[in-house]
Structures are given as C-alpha cells and as structure tokens.
Amino acid sequence: MLGTLVSHWITAPRLILALSEGGQLPTLFGRLAPRRRTLDIAILTTGTVAIVLALGGDFVTTIAASSASRLLIFMGCAAALLRLRRQHDAPDARFGLPLGVGIATCVIAACGALLVAASAELARLGVLIVVGGLLWLISNGKHGFRRLR
C-alpha cells in the first residue's frame, strides 16, 4: 500500500496539471507557484482528498476505493480502444490486437461486474466521481454538455 500511495502522490498532481492544461479542469489547478515552480494547488488538492479518504473510512473501504480507481482506469482504456477503432482519422496502430473489440468489451464488463460487487464499499468513490464530473462540466461550460450528447 505504501508503494501505491507514494506513486499516487507523485503522479496525481501531474495528472491534474495535464487535465488543467487540456481544459478538462479549471486552470487554477495547473497554476505553478511563482517562486518554486511547483504545482502547489494540485498537490494540496491531492493531499486533501487523500486525507479525507483515509480518515473517513476503514482499511477495507480504502483498499476497495484503491482497487476501484484502477478498475475505472482499465475501463477507460478499453473504452478508448473501442472509440479509436471506430475513428477513421485516428493514426495507424503500431500493434494490432486480434479480437480487440471483444477483449475490450469483456474488460469493460468484467470491471463493471467487480465494481457492482464492491458497491457497498465504494459509496465515497461514487461521490468523488460525481464531483469530478461536475468539475469537468463546469470547466468546459457549454462544450462539456455538448460532448455528453
């Protein structure tokens, strides 16, 4: 768990910066501190969320949330594979996965089933997903609502 925690501490602020630069989060999260050139707001946000999650639940719930976040990433990657295969203007793939559509669909279904099985422990993760979705919609304004249609 310590390795997972340290990797999240290192990567999460950089992910927040990338989302901010891509217009998917408010620019406030991508702002660098003038003197040290560090992502102070992203680091504080990540730390605050980690503290709230750590203090707000027991060990089993924390493990379930950590596992669920990975499952959501796997589902997102599989969904991206499906979407990229349908796009005609996407760059050529460097590697072709035989039965890729079937495998990606099975990954999404399996991850979804695991998330449903752990739904009791994941109520807080659902709240975070809703808050993240609202931040995305706010930062994209009208464009975010158009993308959902």
| Per-residue pLDDT tens over the stretch 10-43 | 888 888 888 888 887 888 888 888 888 888 888 8
Task: Give the residue among 136, 134, 130, 127 at the shortest CA–CA distance from 65.
Answer: 127
Better-scored residue on pLDDT, 128 or 14: 14
What is the end-to-end Cα distance of the chain in Å, rounded? 39
- The answer to whether the predicted template modeling score (pTM) of the entire model surpasses 0.75 is no
Confidence of residue 1 (pLDDT cuts 50, 70, 90): low
Within a 10 A sphere around the Cβ of 64, how many other Cβ atoms? 21
